[in-house]
């Protein structure tokens, strides 16, 4: 906290990040590797290997400014060079965002992440340290992947709004893994050039990220582990419990649902038994794959678009989960499923936004949305598999690959449904459509 006095002599209490002096002190703590004693421990500044290069000339002052982006943490930008993230939710132990950034810097050649420039830890006397802040080089970018994709889709819909969707296209509603085994459909190549290239670039970077995280580096927290049957049974039980809980919530809120989703929501509820049963296959499976550290909260909002490529951000995991859960090892297909669902969400969000202006175009554009979603998700997965190859963290058997990926996809769609029921009931059409496409 900070204080200042007005001319009338009245004091005002404010967050210290709104003081330029306090912000500069935080940066200096890292730059100078300061140790600051506190009543029950110390604050320790820890400069990273990329600090000097990311900062630029040491005698150049960097003006702090507060980020206005909506996020669970606080970010301070220093000129156009550095960004300091303050972690608001504190728990003892390494914050995975900082931990993974350090791992990439020290134990891999993976460069599609911001340069790691340092951190600040609070070290209580005789207890495990807390990560208070992380400093990174600021990445020049066009926008985050979510905003860029929505803008690209808006142009796509504007161009397609008056173009009839071809009859007898031969497009099949195959699972995404099967679609990713071949080249994009001719119709997709004709109309989705930039979107396909973008999806492929992100698929490659995602595979490179997972290969780097699977390297281990001799560090126990990063060494891959076998995906044992017991772990699969735990995953299945968690997914089944989650599905039952979300569907009970949907049933409890049924009378207040928007009219346009009542029929499809009823269809989801009528398939409850079959939906929950989709996870049963994991219970008795012998999937030969590995668990590794993963991103943990992977979607288009967690990547930056940079000159036809991507940089990956925010390895903190799902903020609502405990630190232990966020540092746990999982199948990398959890990240893959998160990004595939994000592509789907982008397509339907952009369609919703566009048809608020052109409601007469919805029925026509739904076919073009389906083409965009199926083609981009397949291209993402095709590029991902090409780079990952026969990496041992992926199931070698395609049936096992499909089963595990489908389970993560369905669980993610159910998570989206729960979120929309809690926050934006008018948006539940999107996750419901995703669920119905899988059951």
Domains, the chain, ordered by start: 2-137 (no CATH), 143-436 (3.90.1200.10)
Q: How confident is the model at residue 402, as a pLDDT?
A: 94
Q: Encoding tokens for residue 6?
A: 């007005």
Supply the mean pLDDT for the chain.
90
81-132 pLDDT per residue, tens: 999 999 987 888 889 999 999 999 999 999 999 999 999 999 998 888 999 9
Contact by Cβ (8 Å): 264, 435: no
- Residues 194, 18: Cα–Cα separation, whole Å: 41
Q: How confident is the model at residue 1, as a pLDDT?
A: 47
168 in helix, strand or coil?
Answer: coil
- Residues 113, 137: Cα–Cα separation, whole Å: 9
Q: Encoding tokens for residue 200?
A: 């492929």
Higher local confidence (pLDDT), 164 or 391: 391
Q: How confident is the model at residue 12, as a pLDDT?
A: 63
78 in helix, strand or coil?
Answer: strand
321-366 pLDDT per residue, tens: 888 999 999 999 999 999 999 999 999 999 999 999 988 888 889 9
Q: How confident is the model at residue 69, as a pLDDT?
A: 65
Contact by Cβ (8 Å): 54, 137: yes
Sign, CA dihedral 15-16-18-19, equals positive
Band (70; pLDDT cuts 50, 70, 90) = low
Band (14; pLDDT cuts 50, 70, 90) = low
Mean pLDDT of 148-167: 92
Dihedrals φ, ψ of 332, to 5°?
-60, -15
Mean pLDDT of 47-71: 83
Bridge partners of residue 143, in order along the sequence: 305
Q: How confident is the model at residue 212, as a pLDDT?
A: 97
Instruction: Characterize 91-123 residue by residue with b for buried, 16 or more Cβ atoms within 10 angstroms of its Cβ, and e for exposed.
Output: eeebbbbbbbbbbbbebbebebbbbbbbbbbbb
Band (283; pLDDT cuts 50, 70, 90) = confident
Contact by Cβ (8 Å): 133, 86: yes
Mean pLDDT of 223-252: 94
Phi-psi region of 368 (alpha: psi -120 to 50; beta: other; left: phi over 0): alpha
């Amino acid at each position: 906290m900070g204080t200042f006095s007005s001319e009338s002599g009245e004091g005002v209490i404010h967050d210290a990040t709104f003081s330029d002096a306090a912000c500069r002190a935080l940066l200096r703590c890292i730059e100078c590797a300061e140790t600051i004693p506190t009543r029950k421990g110390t604050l320790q500044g820890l400069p990273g290997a990329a600090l000097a290069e990311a900062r630029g000339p040491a005698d150049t002052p960097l003006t702090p400014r507060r980020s206005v982006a909506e996020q669970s943490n606080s970010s301070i930008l220093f000129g156009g060079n550095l960004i300091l993230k303050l972690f608001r939710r504190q728990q003892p132990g390494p914050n995975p965002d900082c931990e993974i950034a350090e791992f990439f810097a020290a134990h891999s050649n993976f460069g599609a992440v911001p340069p790691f420039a340092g951190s600040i830890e609070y070290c209580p006397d005789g207890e495990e340290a807390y990560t208070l802040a992380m400093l990174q080089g600021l990445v020049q970018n066009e926008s985050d992947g979510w905003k860029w994709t929505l803008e690209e889709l808006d142009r796509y819909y504007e161009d397609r709004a008056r173009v009839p969707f071809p009859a007898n296209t031969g497009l099949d509603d195959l699972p995404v893994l099967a679609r990713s085994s071949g080249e994009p459909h001719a119709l997709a190549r004709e109309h989705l050039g930039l979107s396909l290239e973008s999806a492929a670039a992100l698929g490659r970077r995602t595979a490179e990220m997972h290969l780097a995280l699977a390297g281990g580096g001799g560090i126990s927290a990063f060494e891959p582990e076998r995906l044992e049957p017991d772990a699969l049974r735990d995953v299945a039980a968690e997914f089944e419990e989650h599905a039952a809980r979300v569907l009970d919530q949907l049933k409890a809120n049924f009378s207040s649902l928007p009219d346009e989703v009542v029929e499809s929501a009823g269809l989801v509820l009528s398939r409850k038994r079959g939906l929950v049963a989709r996870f049963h296959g994991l219970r008795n499976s012998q999937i030969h794959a590995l668990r590794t550290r993963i991103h943990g909260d992977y979607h288009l909002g967690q990547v930056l678009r940079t000159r036809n490529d991507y940089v990956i951000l925010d390895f903190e995991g799902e903020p609502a989960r405990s630190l232990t859960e966020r540092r746990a090892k999982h199948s990398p297909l959890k990240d893959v499923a998160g990004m595939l669902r994000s592509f789907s969400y982008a397509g339907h969000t952009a369609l919703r936004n566009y048809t608020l202006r052109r409601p007469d175009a919805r029925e026509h554009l739904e076919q073009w949305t389906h083409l965009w979603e199926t083609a981009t998700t397949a291209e993402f997965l095709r590029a991902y598999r090409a780079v990952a190859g026969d990496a041992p963290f992926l199931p070698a058997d395609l049936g096992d690959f499909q089963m595990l990926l489908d389970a993560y996809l369905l669980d993610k769609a159910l998570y989206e449904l729960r979120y929309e029921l809690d926050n934006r009931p008018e948006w539940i059409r999107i996750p419901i459509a995703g669920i119905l496409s899988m059951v």
